[in-house]
Chain A
Amino acid sequence: MQEPPADRRGQGALPRGMGGIALLYVEDEADARSMVAKMIAMNYPGLAIYSAENGAAGLRMYAEHVPDIVMTDINMPVMDGIRMSREIRNLNPDARIIAVTAHSDTSYLLSAIEIGIHNYVLKPLNYQELFSVMDKVLEEIVLKRLVEEQNRRISESERQLSAAQRIAHLGSWQRHLPSGEMQWSDEMFRICGVEPGALPSTYLSFLELFLPEDREKIEEAMRDALAVEKPQTHHFCRVLRPDGSVRMVRIEAELLPDQKGRAESVVGTCHDVTELKEAEEQVRSLTEGLERRVVQRTSLLQTTVSELESFSYFVSHDLRAPVARLEGFCRALIEDCGVCGNPSCRQYAERSEGVVRQIKLIMDAFSSLTHYARCALAIQEVDLSAVARNVAEHLGHEEPGRKVEFIIAGGIRVQGDATLLRTAMEHLLGNAWKFTSKRERGVIEFGRMEKEGATAFFVRDNGAGFNMKYADKLFKPFQTIHTPGEYPGGTGIGLAMVHSIVLRHGGRIWAEGEVDRGATFIFTLEQNPESGSYLKEG
């Protein structure tokens, strides 16, 4: 046995990433066995090495560890190398066996060829020769493993592609132009309602899948694919399944040139969009229905509004003349009955005049109320905090003797009509001012709160409050819930106007309160209220 060449050291390391390779060395001569095993271990760090002293022990060892490489002596007691190799080959036809032999006779060679021993190293052992054989075998193993890994990856991605196609209902196909042959993915077959491979894969049978009136679209898709300068388009076609059902598919085709750039094939996809199309159709019909209803309701609303319009015209114009006449007659009566001597006469005339004044007040109130329902809104940003502070200041100036604390939250900005919102704030704060008049120390608060996920605004006071069972009456015109004379002043339509204004801003208003424990008026406003008016222009 000669010394290993110095330059071999470290070069026989296992190829990168090839951990887990094992070698079984079978040799009956103990010194040689340990020496060679040591030498291999030194040159191939990372290689697992098992050794056995004869064929029988080697076979047991093989069955236990299934090493990639078996290096064996031929002449051994108990079981020789040839027999062991045969047995190993039976267990694993791919086993790589290196024979270490002094034999060169024909019978040995025949046996070795028969068993499939492709590599051998002659005795006496030459390390250079051994390592070159080892390198060759290892390289084969590495290559084999690489190929296996690639195959595994390919079949994995094929499996994924097929699953993805199945999940997405997306089939694919490829048409070879010169031959007319086609390849279809499994999903392509399934979309057409047949088992994969159940139809001949030709362009003709492909065309026949579609409804006759849609076949021209397929031809067009093919022509478009060939005309490279054309932008890629898609076509919706209908597939007729053998069971008679019809599927809507979206076909896309693209030219696939061969390696020399010749127009050899067209590849494409076939996407089953039946359900998508149905859903789309449903959405469209729902939308259309909704639009029709909106149009209907709008016209109903417009009718109602114009009826309201003519009604309010009737009140503010047609009714005014007779009321003015009535007023004139009352006046005439009062003036002329001074001489009549009957005191009831004059009193009745005066009270009649009072009634006429009431009628005129109601008519004026009605006109202002309808004004808020009809007028055009000019939407802009309004600083409600600033409006509240300003209104509070005015109230304070009017009655400087009152002790009222205003707590006004800052930075409340909304979108709305500045004039209308100011009117609303004037009424709400004015109301709070009025109903805290009997308090030693009034507290009026304006702020913002979250109500059912939306922003709401509130005006709260510690004044007279109200009984919640009258809460509905608060916003109706001329409905008062306090005894006449208890809180004088006010038109009886203040809150009704606020209600109108809030409605015009797409909001809601309500009140919470308790007798003698104050009231809170809460309102919301649409974030982007519509400008203009409900009435048609002109």
Chain B
Amino acid sequence: MAESYILLVEDNPDDAFLATRIIGKVCPEKVLLARDGEEAIELLHRMTQDQSYKQIRLVLLDLKLPKISGLEVLQAIRSSDELRFLFVVVLTSSDNDLDQERCWELGVLDYIFKPMAAERLQSVLLRCGRG
């Protein structure tokens, strides 16, 4: 069976480290890190071409990102024929209601505020790890 991935889109290295650590504790998947929206879209594009996108179990997406925002990445995923069914969880420190509403509209598995990330992230990971 081919290796599966969790795509983490996060610009802050500390947050990326902590998230990777939590993922590592509950999931066997390999973490792919994209440090801004552009990098995420490029990576997803390449993975679409070589079909490896099918191995992505989950996308953990920060909203506030350099260059291309998390919301735009989410829009790109939802408008792509191949990627539209990917599980996406938003990890954010933004309490902007419009952002949240838009994310739920586009379809996300969960919307997690960063200060309380750890436990909730673990439970989300466990849920989709079983799926």
Q: A residues bordering B, Cβ < 8 Å?
A: 317, 320-321, 323-325, 327-329, 331-332, 360
Residue of A317, A320, A328, A360 touching B18 (CB-CB under 8 A): A328
The answer, yes or no, to whether B118 is at the interface (CB within 8 Å) is yes
Q: B residues bordering A, Cβ < 8 Å?
A: 12, 14-15, 18, 21, 93, 95, 114-118
B69 CB to nearest chain A CB (Å): 16
Residue of B21, B93, B116 touching A321 (CB-CB under 8 A): B93
Residue of A323, A324, A332 touching B117 (CB-CB under 8 A): A324
Chain B residues with CB under 8 A of A329: 14, 18
Bound form: Cα–Cα A279–B80 in Å? 78
Residue of B nearest to A317 (CB): B93
Say yes or no: A321 contacts B118, CB within 8 Å: no
Say yes or no: A328 contacts B117, CB within 8 Å: yes
Chain B residues with CB under 8 A of A331: 118
B12 CB to nearest chain A CB (Å): 7
Bound form: Cα–Cα A328–B18 in Å? 7
Say yes or no: A325 contacts B14, CB within 8 Å: yes
Q: Which 6 pairs of residues, A with B, have the shortest CB-CB distance?
A: A328-B18, A324-B115, A325-B14, A321-B93, A320-B115, A324-B114
> If A328-B117, A331-B118 touch, does A321 touch B12 (CB 8 Å cutoff)?
yes
B75 CB to nearest chain A CB (Å): 24
Residue of B nearest to A324 (CB): B115
A367 CB to nearest chain B CB (Å): 11
A135 CB to nearest chain B CB (Å): 110
Bound form: Cα–Cα A360–B114 in Å? 13
Say yes or no: B21 contacts A320, CB within 8 Å: no
**How many residue pairs, one in A and one in B, have C-beta atoms under 8 Å apart?**
32
Residue of A nearest to B117 (CB): A324
Residue of A nearest to B93 (CB): A321
Chain B residues with CB under 8 A of A317: 93, 95
Chain A residues with CB under 8 A of B118: 328, 331
> If A320-B114, A320-B115, A323-B115 touch, does A332 touch B18 (CB 8 Å cutoff)?
yes
Chain B residues with CB under 8 A of A360: 115
Chain A residues with CB under 8 A of B12: 321, 325
Bound form: Cα–Cα A324–B93 in Å? 10
Bound form: Cα–Cα A329–B21 in Å? 10
Chain B residues with CB under 8 A of A327: 115
A364 CB to nearest chain B CB (Å): 10
Bound form: Cα–Cα A320–B12 in Å? 14
Bound form: Cα–Cα A241–B121 in Å? 93
Bound form: Cα–Cα A219–B118 in Å? 91
Bound form: Cα–Cα A184–B116 in Å? 93
Bound form: Cα–Cα A317–B114 in Å? 10
Q: Which of A317, A328, A332, A360 has the most CB of B within 10 A?
A: A328
A-B contact pairs, 29 of them (CB 8 A): A317-B93, A317-B95, A320-B93, A320-B114, A320-B115, A321-B12, A321-B15, A321-B93, A321-B114, A321-B115, A323-B115, A324-B93, A324-B114, A324-B115, A324-B116, A324-B117, A325-B12, A325-B14, A325-B15, A325-B18, A327-B115, A328-B14, A328-B15, A328-B18, A328-B117, A328-B118, A329-B18, A332-B18, A332-B21
Bound form: Cα–Cα A325–B16 in Å? 10
Bound form: Cα–Cα A23–B125 in Å? 135
A339 CB to nearest chain B CB (Å): 15
B25 CB to nearest chain A CB (Å): 8
A106 CB to nearest chain B CB (Å): 131
Bound form: Cα–Cα A317–B12 in Å? 15
Chain A residues with CB under 8 A of B18: 325, 328-329, 332
Bound form: Cα–Cα A325–B91 in Å? 13
Bound form: Cα–Cα A396–B61 in Å? 49
A327 CB to nearest chain B CB (Å): 8
Chain A residues with CB under 8 A of B117: 324, 328
Chain A residues with CB under 8 A of B93: 317, 320-321, 324
Bound form: Cα–Cα A421–B118 in Å? 37
Q: Which of A325, A327, A331 has the most CB of B within 10 A?
A: A325
Chain A residues with CB under 8 A of B116: 324
Q: Which of A321, A327, A360 has the most CB of B within 10 A?
A: A321
A368 CB to nearest chain B CB (Å): 15
7 other contacts beyond A317-B93, A323-B115, with CB at 8 A cut-off? Answer: A321-B15, A321-B114, A324-B117, A325-B15, A327-B115, A329-B14, A360-B115
Residue of B nearest to A332 (CB): B21
Chain A residues with CB under 8 A of B21: 332
Bound form: Cα–Cα A190–B114 in Å? 87
Bound form: Cα–Cα A73–B51 in Å? 160
Bound form: Cα–Cα A328–B115 in Å? 9
Chain A residues with CB under 8 A of B15: 321, 325, 328
Bound form: Cα–Cα A331–B17 in Å? 13
Bound form: Cα–Cα A332–B14 in Å? 12
B94 CB to nearest chain A CB (Å): 8
Chain B residues with CB under 8 A of A325: 12, 14-15, 18
Chain B residues with CB under 8 A of A323: 115
B29 CB to nearest chain A CB (Å): 19
Q: Which of B12, B114, B115, B118 has the most CB of A within 10 A?
A: B115
Bound form: Cα–Cα A519–B95 in Å? 41
Chain A residues with CB under 8 A of B14: 325, 328-329
A411 CB to nearest chain B CB (Å): 42
Bound form: Cα–Cα A329–B115 in Å? 12
Residue of B nearest to A325 (CB): B14
Residue of B nearest to A323 (CB): B115
Residue of B nearest to A318 (CB): B93
A189 CB to nearest chain B CB (Å): 80
Bound form: Cα–Cα A433–B93 in Å? 39
Bound form: Cα–Cα A332–B15 in Å? 12
Bound form: Cα–Cα A323–B117 in Å? 12
